Amino acid sequence: MTTPLRGLLDRDVVAATAGVGLFAEALRDQAVPVTETEWAPPMAGTEADLATVMADRRRVEANALAFARMTAAEAKLVDVRPAAQALSLERGTFLHAGPPLEWARASGPMRGALIGAVLLEGLADTPEQAEEQLAAGHYTLEPCHHRDAVGPMAGVVSPSMWMYELRDDVHDNTSWCSLNEGLGKVLRYGAYGPEVIDRLHWMTRVLGPLLQQSVRASGPFDIKSIIAQMLQMGDEGHNRNRAGSLMLLRELLPGLITADAPSADIAEVVRFSGANEHFFLNLGMPACKLATLAAHNIPGCTIVTTMARNGTDFGIRVSGAGEEWFVGPANTPEGLFLGSFGPEDANPDIGDSAITETGGIGGFAMAAAPAIVKFVGGDVPFALEATQRMYGITEGEHTAYTVPILEFRGTPTGIDVTKVVRTGILPQINTGMAGAVAGVGQVGAGLVTPPVQCFPAALASLARRAEL
Amino acid sequence: MTTSDLTHVELRRGTYYDSVTLMQVSQRVARADGVAAAQVAMATELNVEVLRGMGFPVPDEAAPNDLVIAVRAESAAGSAGIEAGLAAVDEALTATRSTTSGGAGGFGSAPPPRTVGAAVRTGAASIAVISVPGQHAVTETYDAIAAGVSVMLFSDNVSVADEIALKDAAAAADVLVMGPDCGTAMVGGVALGFANVVRGGGIGLVAASGTGAQQVMCLLDVAGLGVSHCLGVGGRDLKAAVGGRSTRQALTALAADPDTSHVLVVSKPPDEAVLTAMRAYAGELGLDVAWAILGEGRDDLTTSVEGFLRGLGHEVPSWPSAVAPDPAPDLPRGGSLRGLFCGGTLADEAMFLAAAELGAIRSNIAHENDLLLGPALTDAGHLVIDFGDDGMTQGRAHPMIDPSLRMERIAAEALDPTCGVLLLDLVLGYGSHPDPAEDLAHAIASAQATAREAGRSLPVVVSLTGTDGDPQNATRTMSKLHAAGASVFVSNRDATRHALSSLRSHS
């Protein structure tokens, strides 16, 4: 027999309070255990929308379902193919990071990357000509996310670029991401000089096909399992990917060594991949994309399924609000700078890589990667605190991704719009910083948050769609 | 920030304190050396109005989530007074943080929970007590329900539509929403909100009235009977719109509770059809339920409790009281009753009892529209004012915590020649002011002295809801008020009757 009110009258009172402090004191005076909420009013003007969305009768179950799907989603690397095949990307169409963007509003690094991609495709002979064509609207620009793909930093994808292809058989989803070019002057940071284009050609001619041979020979590779392991080895999966990159190389090596290719090419692929600390980023991102894709489009669900930046705007999408983007001007990250670069050299936030935080790693798993503070700034207590703060705005704790120093607590997963608006706590994102001028490349790395207005806007849309 | 020589006004963003805490901070700052006036408050519309009324230039960009710090120095002190005031602000604010938050800092320690759902999960709580401002209360309550716990919802200014939706969501989750505007509850001997320390026993209460439930529990305590649980349901639960949603759940729970042998339902005037339905439901549960229901033509709470005791074959005690002599027997008196209450149900009960004898009584909680008091709350005739009503608590703490409005009114009545007797309530117990007798005794004595100087006698009657187990101790409180010149009664009925007899003996 079940007692009514979940046994309220049978058990010792243990209280949680929100509001006037003296009620908590009165309970403590009676030796009742009390947990006080450090309550503050929600973001200004959101009271009515909050009350409506909280009352949506689908919300609780929808969010639980979204969380269950996010954490159950698989991520298997099944193939490596050119974007023309994998995404049916037409010649003349270029994918980019973040929410939709037109050339006129594109930032320096985004313009640089698009110029480079036009050159790579052989559509123009000079950067100037490429820029003219882009400005004249000769080409179609489209967010990677609209094709279930993700791209770091500028995230520019053109038809001849090779893509990792990842599968989630549980939810029958596929996602894609380009191959990582390494650090320094690279296309994703807006560089388009000859050495950048030469490297991209080599990646198309040598790296892509060899990775394909390896994956087809000894894959599929379980990327989700690598993420779970790398978090226990000091990576957070966004700005620190060292362990993940080495584990990925370990998976790829047998297939590379036995590939049908000149040994000099194989050696160069191994050297290139092994030297790149962020080699794994382009697999962690589509893995997180698969997780959030599984949670997307659940009616009544208030969980964020996309956070992405195009260097001008920051945009989010929410499971229960369909394909609508909620955007605001991208913030400029704060952090540490390479060489003689300084804050004035940095471009506003850019890249689809915030999909890692959306999926419960990256800045949300910062406590697992205390060494990251030497790269992005802050100190170790901050790293520990950042992850714990994110529990306040997420639906649950990841079942596969855990943080040893927090007693193997699961990473905070599933950003809930209502919790962000109620607490004013913004998602913590670890990120690289691109130079503001096209062609400069990376200038640093640091910490950033979304612009605050994305969340009340998403909440208002959820309120319009609410079923009471 | 604006600072003139003597006045300093400053906005702080991103920081929030509840109104009770800020009231204490303001008092502390106002006492600092060289400070003439000080107010530290969230910049709600009402508070900004108050601040401007005090002559502080609050900037237009002030928003409700901003903290305003306003300090005026004594002219002799000058800028040193402002500095002292600001130092006192920082000291007082720091002191509140260190006691209220679970202690931030340390090596990567977890931040405190920021939503009630997180607090429930962090502490594995069985119940949530929510007292955030009304416009935010619905959100927090849904969160607590989703976290699987019952809610004591102290907040007022929650709409009926929201109340119904919350209670339906709670019933679906098999938890109880006690409220909104629920001041009193007791679960397993633990007082939630405003509640008195009473003996344990077999009587389960369902209360659509906060101070009504406190009155009943205190009377039962005097009679030697104890309470198992007191489940608040909110003052509107037995109205037609809400339809007894929480009462139904509370009766079901008490019927299944082995510690509860009898059930007493305490309510403000209910809807008749809902009351009939609840009686029928209690019958279905096979539950022995007594009803202490206020309303026209019904018994008052004391009489209902007396009937309940007789029904149990229990002796009806004499309710404690201390009667004071006429403060100035040779002087004339005004002819009007002035009831100044903090407890809504106590005010309501006094009004019903007095109306039977005096006829029309004007009130801010009158049941007939033509008897409703205007915003000035003044009239030459008989008045009963409930200082705890929704309309009086927007942007400020309940008068059981912050008695300043009523104190001002007591002083004003002393000067009003039409005031013939002051009828006051004082509710002790958890949640209430820790030592209310001191200030009230002082107010009573000075009101009587003021009236005497003006050539009038002003009898004061206090309805004292409390027990000797309360932190403030009812017997000691009674002596203190009696010594100050008031007649004091533990039964609100008896207090009201005594006030009426004072009016009669005069006419």
- Yes or no, beta carbons of B430 and A29 under 8 Å apart: yes
Residue partners of A412: CB distance under 8 A and separation at least 6:
A360, A364, A387, A390, A391, A393, A394, A397, A398
pLDDT band at B419 (very low <50, low <70, confident <90, very high): very high
- B233 φ/ψ angles, rounded to the nearest 5 degrees: -130, -5
- Yes or no, beta carbons of A16 and B108 under 8 Å apart: no
Average pLDDT of the segment spanning B377-391: 91
Transcribe A293-354 into DSSP letters.
Answer: HHHSS-TT--BEEEEEEESSEEEEEEGGGTT--EEEEPPPPEEEESTT--GGGBPS-EEGGG
Among residues A184, A203, A276, A239, the alpha carbon closest in space to that of A377 is found at A239
Asked if residue B70 has pLDDT above 70, the reply is yes
CATH topology of domain B2-100: Alpha-Beta Plaits (3.30.70)
Asked if residue B46 has pLDDT above 90, the reply is no
Neighbouring CB atoms inside 10 A of A453's CB total 14
Neighbouring CB atoms inside 10 A of B359's CB total 9
pLDDT band at B16 (very low <50, low <70, confident <90, very high): confident
Contact (Cβ atoms closer than 8 angstroms) between residue A323 and residue A310: no
B378, two tokens: 């003044």
Of the candidates B18, B109, B123, the beta carbon closest to that of A20 is on: B18
For chain A, how far is it from start to end, CA to CA, in angstroms? 32
A74-284: CATH number: 3.90.1710.10
The residue to which tokens 């130092």 are assigned? B87
Nearest-CA distance B296 → chain A (Å): 34
Transcribe B47-115 into DSSP letters.
Answer: HHHHHHHTT----TT--TTSEEEEEEE-TTTTHHHHHHHHHHHHHHHHHHHHHHS----SSSPPPPP-S
Average pLDDT of the segment spanning B64-88: 90
Asked if residue B78 has pLDDT above 50, the reply is yes
- B438 φ/ψ angles, rounded to the nearest 5 degrees: -55, -60
B291, two tokens: 């009803």
pLDDT value at position B100? 41
Probe site for chain B from A11, A30, A35, A63 (most B CB atoms < 10 A): A35
- Yes or no, beta carbons of A38 and B131 under 8 Å apart: no
pLDDT value at position B3? 61
Contact (Cβ atoms closer than 8 angstroms) between residue A334 and residue A377: yes
Among residues B390, B321, B382, the alpha carbon closest in space to that of B157 is found at B390
- Yes or no, beta carbons of B113 and A37 under 8 Å apart: yes
- Whether residue B135 lies within 8 A of chain A, CB to CB, comes out as yes
Identify the CATH assignment for A62-70+296-465 out of 3.30.300.30, 3.90.1700.10, 3.40.640.10, 3.40.367.20: 3.90.1700.10
Q: How far apart are CA B507 and CA B505, in angstroms?
A: 6
pLDDT value at position B26? 86
Range list of H helices, B107-208: 116-123, 134-146, 160-172
For residue A380, list chain B residues with Cβ-Cβ distance below 8 A. Answer: 107-108
pLDDT band at B1 (very low <50, low <70, confident <90, very high): low
- B177 φ/ψ angles, rounded to the nearest 5 degrees: -100, 110
Q: How far apart are CA B184 and CA B207, in angstroms?
A: 8
pLDDT value at position A249? 96
CA B339 to chain centroid, in Å, comes to 15
Q: How far apart are CA A103 and CA A110, in angstroms?
A: 9
Nearest residue in chain B measured CA to CA from A30: B190
pLDDT value at position A222? 98
- Radius of gyration, CA atoms only, chain B: 24
pLDDT value at position A400? 96
Q: Say whether domain B321-506 belongs to CATH 3.90.1660.10.
A: no
The residue to which tokens 């480079």 are assigned? A116
Contact (Cβ atoms closer than 8 angstroms) between residue B175 and residue B253: no
Among residues A93, A106, A74, A202, the alpha carbon closest in space to that of A144 is found at A93
- The domain covering B117-311 belongs, at the CATH homologous superfamily level, to Succinyl-CoA synthetase domains (3.40.50.261)
Contact (Cβ atoms closer than 8 angstroms) between residue A9 and residue A419: no
pLDDT value at position A378? 83
pLDDT in tens, B224-281: 999 999 999 999 999 999 999 999 999 999 999 999 999 999 999 999 999 999 999 9
- B311 φ/ψ angles, rounded to the nearest 5 degrees: -60, -30
For residue B15, list chain A residues with Cβ-Cβ distance below 8 A. Answer: 40
Nearest-CA distance A104 → chain B (Å): 35
For residue A8, list chain B residues with Cβ-Cβ distance below 8 A. Answer: 126-127, 150, 175-176, 187, 253
- Give the DSSP H/E element, type plus range, for residue A243: helix A242-257
Q: Which residues of B95-123 are buried (b: 16+ CB within 10 A; e: fewer)?
A: ebeeebeeeeeeebebbbbbbbbbbbbbb
* Domain residue ranges of chain B, discontinuous segments joined by +: 2-100, 117-311, 321-506
pLDDT in tens, B170-184: 999 999 999 999 999
pLDDT value at position B49? 87
Asked if residue B395 has pLDDT above 80, the reply is no
- Yes or no, beta carbons of B108 and A385 under 8 Å apart: yes
- Give the DSSP H/E element, type plus range, for residue A386: helix A380-390
pLDDT in tens, B99-139: 444 344 456 778 999 999 999 999 999 999 999 998 999 99
pLDDT value at position B210? 87
Residue A142 CB burial class (10 angstroms; 0-12, 13-18, ≥19) = middle
Q: How far apart are CA A349 and CA B206, in angstroms?
A: 57
Q: Give chain B's mean pLDDT.
A: 92
Please give the share of chain A, as a percent, with pLDDT higher than 70: 100
Q: How far apart are CA A115 and CA A191, in angstroms?
A: 9
* Domain residue ranges of chain A, discontinuous segments joined by +: 1-39, 62-70+296-465, 74-284
User: Residue-wise pLDDT tens for chain A (468 aa)?
Assistant: 579 999 999 999 999 999 988 899 999 999 999 999 999 999 999 999 999 999 999 999 999 999 999 999 999 999 999 999 999 999 999 999 999 999 999 999 999 999 999 999 999 999 999 999 999 999 999 999 999 999 999 999 999 999 999 999 999 999 999 999 998 889 999 999 999 999 999 999 999 999 999 999 999 999 999 999 999 999 999 999 999 999 999 999 999 999 999 999 999 999 999 999 999 999 999 999 999 999 999 999 999 999 999 999 999 999 999 999 999 999 999 999 988 999 999 999 999 999 999 999 999 999 999 999 888 888 899 999 999 999 999 999 999 999 999 999 999 999 999 999 999 999 999 999 999 998 788 899 999 999 999 999 999 999 999 998
For residue B252, list chain A residues with Cβ-Cβ distance below 8 A. Answer: 4
In this predicted complex, what is the ipTM?
A: 0.92
In chain A, count of helices (H) and strands (E)? Answer: 18, 18
pLDDT value at position B101? 40
pLDDT value at position B97? 62
For residue B102, list chain A residues with Cβ-Cβ distance below 8 A. Answer: 35-36, 38
* Cα dist from B64 to A7, A41, A192, A340, whole Å: 39, 9, 50, 44
Helix (H, G, I), strand (E, B) or coil at B421: strand
pLDDT in tens, B303-354: 999 999 999 999 999 999 999 999 999 999 999 999 999 999 999 999 999 9
